[in-house]
Copies of this chain bind each other. A is one copy, B any other.
Amino acid sequence: MNEKPKVAVARGRRPSPAYAATRDVLIRCGMELLTEQGFSSTGLDAVLKRATVPKGSFYHYFANKDAFGAAVMDAYDDYFKQKLDRWLLNQERAPLDRLADFIADASRGMRKHRFTRGCLVGNLSQELGALPPDFRERLDAILVGWQERVARCLKEAQAAGAIPGTLNVEQLAEFFWIAWEGAVLRARLVQSDRPLVTFIEAFLSSLGVRAQASPRNEADH
């Protein structure tokens, strides 16, 4: 899972800062395009064009499109985990409020991009049949990593007495990301963050609590 994709750098040579910077730009542009339109319909030309990197130089940076896809997935996972940690480890907020904070932030992010971007993991899961077989394992591992973070947050809520100690937090964390992918999909469909609000309100009320930091008042009108 943490294995880095092979890059086409000659053995024994350290990549120059300029090389690393260009590679990062390609990955960032890949993240943008893949969250918009998935892997299969994203041509390398479009990535290079967005990155303003000369055509034909792609293979200086990645062995092939699959290796590029793997690097984009890893980068997205890193980015997303940082985002999750920012909200879910925030000790100034009660554990369940942190979940609502994360969703409110995700709503702002989706609105900023006018609901054209989804979740990279959801997009790629939808087109699995057309993807390299090892993408499946990688996507599953990414979701498991996110689940662990939500489970930890729910355990903190249990420890604080905010939700019953009898709840199966592992199953609830799995459910959180199941419903998340559905909510992001629906938000793109209706071009509104209302599905994200519906999701977090229903999820929190499934724990026997009312959302205290409901992002409802931030929803689109």
Interface size on A, residues (CB 8 A): 44
A175 B189 Cβ-Cβ under 8 A: no
Give the distance in Å from the alpha carbon of A177 to the alpha carbon of B186 in the complex: 9
| Contact (Cβ within 8 A) B188 A125 | yes
**Residue A122 contacts which of B126, B202, B206 (CB distance < 8 angstroms)?**
B126
User: Assembly of this chain: how many copies?
Assistant: 2
Partner of A199, one of B126, B178, B185, B195: B178
Q: Which residues of B contact A202 (CB under 8 A)?
A: 171-172, 175, 206
Contact code string A194-217 (vs B, CB < 8 Å = 1, else 0):
010011011101100000000000
Interface string of A47-74 (1 = CB under 8 A from B): 0000000000000000000000000000
The stretch of A17-25, A36-44, A88-96, A155-163 in contact with B is A36-44
- Chain A to chain B contacts (Cβ below 8 Å), 30 pairs: A37-B130, A38-B126, A41-B127, A41-B130, A118-B126, A122-B126, A122-B182, A122-B185, A125-B185, A125-B186, A125-B188, A125-B189, A126-B126, A136-B191, A140-B189, A140-B190, A143-B186, A143-B189, A171-B198, A171-B202, A172-B202, A178-B179, A178-B183, A178-B198, A179-B182, A179-B199, A185-B185, A202-B206, A203-B206, A205-B206
